[in-house]
Structure 1
Amino acid sequence: MNTTLFIALRYWRSKSADRFGRMVTNLASFGIILGVMALIIVLSVMNGLESMQKRNLLSSLPHAVLSLKEGKLTKDQAVKFPVFIAKSVPINQTNVVIQSKNSINAGQLIGVENSNDDPRLTELNIQQQLPKSRFNVIMSYSLANQLKVNKGDKIRLMITENSRYTPFGRVPVQRLFTISDLYFSQTNDSNTLFANLSDVGRLLHIYPNQTQGLRLFLDDPFKVSQLTDYFDQNKWHISDWREQKGEFFQAVKMEKNMMGLLVSLIIIVAISNIITSLSLMVVDKQGEVAILQTQGLTKNQVMQIFMFQGSIVGIIGAILGGGLGILATVYLSDLIHLISPMGIVLPTEIAIPQVISIIVISILLSLLCTLYPAYQAAKIEPATALRYE
């Protein structure tokens, strides 16, 4: 074994006469364990909440809408997509004013062709419910309750973005639609209506072989920022889910960063105790250090002894804290049930690269904190330390 590592291990395992210094060392090790454990649990819970919100809020939205800046997209036009785009479907969409006999509301009309064009329509037979040129529409149950309508009723849709001139002036394009079916919406996008793609195109004066663009569904919604690398922004216009939900996820990300920063202070305070414990040990062991120097130990080797000793505390604390943090995260719901049996389940997601980063950074910080005490130990002069021995 390396001589300096051997001496450092002996110092670490010995029952020091300085009980206060020993207590500070134990507190530093315990603080690192507690801080690393808490940081892993907090970040895993925040990761789980972020993933849950991503599934719940973004599962029913097109992750991006791709359209030409000039002209319309033809249905047979070939578009090269990156590998992370799971699905693309043609789309015609517009904002509408919805009028029934009893109420009025605003919403968005989207044209579809198949049941898999939108996650909210997978259980419906779109070809049967939305045949071409019949001007049928499907809406959510919550919107139907607001408008006080049901299946089979007629509603008037007015397109404010498109208008025509009449003897009475310029009026928006409008059309009566028949409600053919209703769907459940678990998100706040309940004001979305679905009609046949060609019917929506006719209202927008779009040729049957053309569409406004393509709805893109990605394997990971957070990859939308990479779309600009594949599509020329001078030719294509890209709108994505961040326009509707971006502020919410920015708030979640900021909260995650702040929680991580606050819990990291526990680790920083614990690691700073290494400086105190090593400084006390330098004072306690200066006679032994002086004797070792007279026997041939160099100043660099003296520094290594105390650096090894502080690193041992940091490595053991970081590894134990990482293991306990992962274990506590896996059984977090059971632990919460023991404390408060209210049936609360916290979603968790352990990110292994994140855990490794926490452990490695904790070890590096503990190593950094050993430099000053180790430098003070290397400055010990044998003649001065052994003068009164």
Structure 2
Amino acid sequence: MYKPIYIFIGLRYLWNSHLTSFKKIITILSIIGTSLGISSIVITISLVNGFQNEFQKNILSFVPHLIITNKNYYINESEFPRNILKSSNVQKISSFINSKVLIQSKKNITIGEIITFKEKNYDSFKNYNITNILYTLNSKENNVIIGKKLAKKLNININDSIKLITLPKSKKNFLTKQFNEKTFKVTGFFCTENEIDNYQILINSKIALTFLHYCKNYITGWRIWLKDPFYFDINMFKKIKNNLILLNWKSKEGELFKAVQIEKYIMLLFFILILLVVGFNIIITLTVNMIEKQNVIAILQTQGLCRKKIMLIFITIGSSISIIGNLLGILISFTLIFQKKILNLLINLFFNTTNISMKIFPFQVFLVNITFILLSILSMLYPIWKITKSTPAKILSHE
């Protein structure tokens, strides 16, 4: 005799050579429905992860995740709030001087933003791919490196000269403040495929101090990059001094952040809907099995098989469908994800795009599978309990 008996009986009811074609088709369709649901969820999650990864790589790697400054955007470096260093999410911190400027070339004029570069501080600008020309931003020459798109606007080339004119930070001082201007030589371009290419200008920090009339050891503030910009302990940063203010990347990239958040909510809704469909699918399959097996259930009860073990027979059937569907779904989704050409072809049928980014986290796949299996089992309990509640005498009285 096979032990445990309920697993042996459950697997026999799930599939055997004596099953009718109709019952086999129902079981196969139930497994296919589960596998398609799982594969859809895994692919969707990987697409969202890929989008977030590209968002963080292409946009948030150039934009500071947090900026600490004061209301005047003019602060002494000694006022740095050191308690921020206690946060494990902080990746790097750099002081900076920043100002809006008018940029004038021989043929055009536009608005830009200067960002300072400290000599030998290459880490903050490694994503710009200009390490070989950063040495030109020394403290002895009035040199700048600007974005390629900005250079196109101004219609200038390398070694051309541009004039930078400071703009007052307050609108009240716009007409009263005397504008400061200086001529700079363009020693190179950077191309990040980001919006900063349209306005950013890199300049040596010592040159900027003189140009903007900053006192020694005074800066605009501190730029902070986080390991995970989508999550940070805001309470840690709220403990900073009252005279300092905190600006995060969400305020600057608000619309894109909203798009990311909406995408997460849609994915959650999608996950719940597929979960319900798969759950109903398994319930229907089990209910058909149980209604057909009512007489067998009654006979097993009369032979001494307890109600708990009879319930475990049908839980074995439902769990087997769920587990097989999960494994098949993972196989389908991983095949489509790693063979991007197939998935690109399918996406291009509905959307005019050629490149998609996907990223898989094993923990997420494991969590999806465990959730599906557990909820599938929970969804089986009521119909199983309802069927096994009837007494054998009542069921067999019609025979």
- Choose the corresponding residue for 1:146, options 121, 132, 153: 153
Q: Does 1:79 align with 2:88?
A: no
Percent of residue pairs identical: 27
- Choose the corresponding residue for 1:175, options 164, 181, 184: 181
| Residues 140 and 273 (structure 1), Cα distance of their counterparts in 2 relative to 1, 3 Å cut | closer
- Per-residue deviation, residues 336-357 of structure 1 (Å, max 9, x unmatched): 4699899944322111121112
Match of 2:56 in 1: 54
- C-alpha deviation, 1:243, in angstroms: 2.3
Partner Cα separation in structure 1 for residue 284 and residue 80 of structure 2: 70
Partner Cα separation in structure 2 for residue 87 and residue 338 of structure 1: 41
Match of 2:394 in 1: 384
| Residues 265 and 231 (structure 1), Cα distance of their counterparts in 2 relative to 1, 3 Å cut | closer
Secondary structure at 1:94 match in 2: strand
- 298-307 or 39-48: which moved more? 298-307
- Per-residue deviation, residues 200-248 of structure 1 (Å, max 9, x unmatched): 334444212222222223333334x336415624444222322222321
Kept in 2: contact 1:18–1:284 (CA 8 A): no
Partner Cα separation in structure 2 for residue 307 and residue 172 of structure 1: 81
Secondary structure at 1:179 match in 2: strand
TM-score by length of 1: 0.86
- For residues 304-323 of structure 1, the aligned pairs below 5 Å read 304-323=312-331
Q: Identify unmatched segments of 5+ residues in structure 2.
A: none
Aligned residues: 385
| Residues 164 and 23 (structure 1), Cα distance of their counterparts in 2 relative to 1, 3 Å cut | closer
Partner Cα separation in structure 1 for residue 37 and residue 183 of structure 2: 61
- Per-residue deviation, residues 82-110 of structure 1 (Å, max 9, x unmatched): 34433322211112222334322111122
Secondary structure at 1:222 match in 2: coil
Q: Does 1:355 align with 2:365?
A: yes
Partner Cα separation in structure 2 for residue 161 and residue 179 of structure 1: 25
TM-score by length of 2: 0.84
Match of 1:268 in 2: 276
- C-alpha deviation, 1:41, in angstroms: 1.5
Match of 2:16 in 1: 14
CA RMSD of aligned residues (A): 3.3
Match of 1:226 in 2: 233
- C-alpha deviation, 1:286, in angstroms: 1.4
Secondary structure at 1:297 match in 2: coil
- Per-residue deviation, residues 138-169 of structure 1 (Å, max 9, x unmatched): 32232122123342313131322269999xx6
- For residues 1-389 of structure 1, the aligned pairs below 5 Å read 1-14=3-16, 19-68=21-70, 72-74=75-77, 79=82, 81=85, 82-114=87-119, 116=122, 117-118=124-125, 119-120=127-128, 122-132=130-140, 134-150=141-157, 151-161=159-169, 170-185=176-191, 186-190=193-197, 191-223=199-231, 225-226=232-233, 228-230=235-237, 232-235=239-242, 236-259=244-267, 261-262=269-270, 265-333=273-341, 336=344, 344-389=354-399
Q: Identify unmatched segments of 5+ residues in structure 1.
A: none
Partner Cα separation in structure 1 for residue 50 and residue 106 of structure 2: 45
Structure 1 counterpart of 2:34, which letter?
Answer: I
Kept in 2: contact 1:63–1:218 (CA 8 A): yes
Kept in 2: contact 1:163–1:172 (CA 8 A): no
Kept in 1: contact 2:94–2:222 (CA 8 A): yes
- Per-residue deviation, residues 277-324 of structure 1 (Å, max 9, x unmatched): 222222211111111111112223322222222122112212321233
Partner Cα separation in structure 2 for residue 270 and residue 127 of structure 1: 61
- 304-313 or 198-207: which moved more? 198-207
Partner Cα separation in structure 2 for residue 68 and residue 179 of structure 1: 32
- 351-360 or 7-16: which moved more? 7-16
- Per-residue deviation, residues 161-187 of structure 1 (Å, max 9, x unmatched): 269999xx6134321221232322321
